């Protein structure tokens, strides 16, 4: 009996189970939404539009510009700013985190600055960003950067700190210098933690971006929502919200996929020796 049980949990059937449950719960939510709005009319359409309305608005936004851009335009603008901000945060934050863990002197000098800056909420930077860059792409990208940077640093640092010192010793005995040690041993071993940092950075950056777009700018998903509010178009707001959530999930899924491709050694293939 016990053996059967163990086999079952390993079969591919059960690995798909969470997916089925997840889809099921989304479906139930959709049904409840439909029932309470279009079918039973419990909720006033100005409070919560029906799914049909949202879908219709979605189709409409794809073809017709709203507040200056089509939906694709708003999505594109948001993704671009987000990519700039997150890209800069990763390119700068990961090396800083690695050096924090690798060079105690570097950490001693820069960590206090980092700690103070990290407790300032990204939105506190919006006024200064507007002052510096005006209502431009750079403003939102800077807010994204500030929201994404700490997670990159902290997780890269943690990842490097967790590398077993014996690996470093083994590399030293084999004649590796600092550079080779970092490149071939320390960074690859820390990579899963770095990836975790990227996932957090990406979602933090995405959330901060939408916030920044609500207050500044003339295009983007946050701007779309605020325009929906100004025009009393609840369905526009809902299209914007759902687009934000879905894009977040898509980006995160892509990153998780790339992790399995980029770090093939993490998932043992079938055991090849008895």
Burial class of residue 237 in the structure, from the number of CB atoms within 10 Å of its CB (0-12 exposed, 13-18 middle, 19+ buried): buried
**Which of 224, 245, 228, 234 lies closest to 74 in space, CA to CA?**
224
Which residue lies nearer to other proteins by CB, 18 or 175? Answer: 175
Which residue lies nearer to other proteins by CB, 86 or 190? Answer: 190
Residues within window 241-270 making contact with other proteins, judged by CB under 8 A: 263-266, 268-270
- Binding-site residue total for other proteins (CB under 8 A)? 29
Cβ neighbours for 272, distance < 8 A, ≥ 6 positions apart: none
Nearest distance from C-beta of residue 171 to other proteins, angstroms = 7
Binds other proteins (CB under 8 A): choice among 16, 184, 218, 257:
184
Nearest distance from C-beta of residue 247 to other proteins, angstroms = 31
SS3 of 70, please? coil
Neighbours of 205 (CB within 10 A): 30
Nearest distance from C-beta of residue 179 to other proteins, angstroms = 11
Which residue lies nearer to other proteins by CB, 151 or 185? Answer: 185
Range list of H helices, the chain = 2-10, 12-15, 17-34, 51-63, 71-102, 104-118, 126-133, 137-161, 165-173, 178-180, 187-215, 221-230, 234-262
Nearest distance from C-beta of residue 224 to other proteins, angstroms = 43
Binds other proteins (CB under 8 A): choice among 191, 200, 247, 255:
191
Span of 97-105, 171-179, 224-232, 234-242 interacting with other proteins by CB under 8 A = 171-179
**Which of 240, 235, 246 lies closest to 37 in space, CA to CA?**
235
Binding mask 56-75 for other proteins (x = CB under 8 A): --------------------
- Angle between helices 137-161 and 187-215 in degrees, nearest 10: 150
For other proteins, the binding residues (CB under 8 A) are: 164, 166-167, 169-177, 180, 184-185, 188-189, 191, 263-266, 268-274
């Amino acid at each position: 009996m016990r053996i059967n049980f163990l086999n079952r949990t390993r079969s591919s059937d059960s690995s798909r189970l969470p997916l089925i449950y997840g889809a099921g719960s989304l479906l139930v939510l959709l049904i409840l939404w439909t029932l309470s709005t279009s079918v039973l009319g419990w909720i006033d359409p100005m409070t919560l539009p029906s799914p049909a309305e949202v879908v219709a608005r979605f189709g409409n936004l794809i073809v017709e510009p709203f507040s200056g851009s089509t939906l694709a335009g708003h999505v594109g603008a948001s993704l671009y700013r987000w990519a700039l901000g997150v890209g800069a945060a990763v390119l700068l934050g990961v090396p800083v985190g690695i050096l924090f863990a690798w060079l105690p002197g570097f950490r001693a000098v820069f960590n206090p600055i980092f700690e103070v800056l990290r407790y300032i909420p990204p939105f506190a930077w919006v006024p200064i960003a507007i002052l510096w860059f005006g209502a431009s792409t750079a403003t939102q990208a800077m807010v994204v950067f500030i929201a994404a940077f700490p997670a990159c640093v902290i997780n890269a640092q943690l990842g490097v700190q967790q590398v077993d010192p014996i690996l470093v010793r083994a590399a030293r005995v084999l004649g590796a210098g600092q550079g080779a040690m970092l490149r071939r041993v320390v960074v690859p071993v820390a990579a899963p933690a770095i990836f975790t940092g990227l996932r957090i950075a990406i979602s933090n950056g995405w959330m901060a971006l939408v916030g920044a777009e609500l207050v500044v700018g003339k295009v983007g998903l946050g701007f779309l929502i605020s325009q929906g509010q100004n025009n009393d178009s609840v369905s526009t707001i809902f299209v914007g919200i759902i687009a934000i959530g879905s894009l977040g999930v898509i980006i995160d899924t892509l990153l998780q996929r790339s992790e399995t491709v980029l770090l093939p050694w993490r998932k043992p293939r079938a055991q090849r020796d008895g």
